[in-house]
Structures are given as structure tokens and as C-alpha cells.
Amino acid sequence: MSGTEDFDPDLLAAEYVLGTLEGRERESVAYRAQSDDVLNSAILAWEMRLAPLGTLVPPISPPSDLWLRIEESCGLAVPSRRGRLRTSLWDRVNLWRGATGLGFGLAVALAALVVFRTPSSTITPVGTAVLSPTPGAAPTFVAEIDQHGVLVMQPLTHLAVADDKDLELWALPDGQTVPQPLGVMKASGRSVSLPPALRKVPMQIMISLEQHGGSTTGLPQGPVLFVGHISKFD
């Protein structure tokens, strides 16, 4: 981290959220954010921007001996004369561990609520796609399909669209060559109810840039800006 007098709050927030700051630097940023509204807002923005990327990472079960190794590294497990581990001290901090786990669970639930909520309700996603301009590029939108077949589009960054243009949403089921129009959308996102035939179908989700009011042909007339793929439904 660079000096604290002349600093870029957005860059500092990114370093903080990505976890590249350690020790006193991290503590200093956390303390500063309590009274610096600009820095605090930047941290919240980066948290919301990066949280959806967790949907791209497959869950991995921790090794069965993980807690044992943590106990040993923290000096909380004491080997007995027979070489077995005595964990009476760890037993006394089970309440702390449980409280920490509960707090972490609440934090994750709150983050999901903030990132994926719609104005009327919180969706339960069954299918997810991350849309980007090209494969491997920074994601621009997250697409979520809920259990009722509602597609929710959430932007991950600010987009500016000219007054005489509109973004239009499309679905292209796997194996087909003609995308189906889902209507125009604002850069701030949109929710739309999918036709029943699309609610469990692996598909590409696309966003094109069209004339004001959207395409008049039923096919993208302007460039397709962002593409993502939903291949798995829970």
C-alpha cells in the first residue's frame, strides 16, 4: 500500500477487499473506513463487485484433519504421553468457535442478500452465469435464474448507454442458432420471467446494444456486447 496522505480510495479499497493488505496496513484501512465515507463506500462497492465471482468456484470440502492441524499450529492441542492429543483447552473455546461460525454464516447470508436481492424479494438462484465482453475478461453482469423461472440481471460495474440506444437481453439455448429476445433492459439491471421452455435449459445469456426501443427484427441488430453461459441448474 502506498502512503496514506495521497491515496486512491478505490485502489486502496480493492487491495483491502482482495486481501493483499496484511497486519497493521489492513487494520489501518479498516479503522480509517469507519470515519471516511468515500473509502467505506469504495470497500462496499468492491465487495459487491467481487462477491458474485464466488459462484464460479466449485465448493471444496476441507480435509478431515483440518481442525486438528489448526489446533496444533495454535498450540491448543497438547500431545499426551501415549502420543494422542488432549484437547481440553480447545473444548473450553468451543463456544468461541461456534459464535465465530455463526457470525461468518450471518455475514455470508447478508452479503448474498445485498448482492442478489430484487426490489420485491430475495431470489433463490438455481442457475448462474457471469457475462463478460470476451472469455476471460472482467465480468460485467451476473445472471441468476430463480426457482420460479425469473431471470435477474445484476451489473458488476457502471455502464453508460447513449440516450438513443438500449441494451437488449437475449437467450440462446444450447444447440440452437437463433436467440430468443427477452426485452430491453437498463444498465442498472432487470428481472424478467422466462418462458417455461427456457427455465431449465442450458443456454447462453447475451446483451446487445440496439437502437432505442430494441431490435425490430427479433434478432440482434447491433453488436453483442456481453455473453455468459448457464450450463447447470441446481
H-helix or E-strand containing 17? helix 9-18
> What is the architecture of the domain spanning 125-230?
Sandwich (2.60)
| pLDDT, one tens digit for every residue, the chain (234 residues) | 544 455 788 888 888 888 888 888 888 888 888 888 888 878 877 776 666 565 555 566 777 777 777 767 766 655 544 444 444 444 444 434 444 444 444 444 444 444 444 444 455 788 888 898 877 677 889 999 988 899 999 998 888 888 899 999 999 999 999 999 999 999 999 999 999 999 888 999 999 999 999 999 999 999 999 999 998 777
Residue 66, amino acid: L
Residues 185 and 198: their CA atoms lie apart, in Å, by 19
pTM, to two decimals = 0.52
Where are the chain's structural domains?
Answer: 9-56, 66-116, 125-230
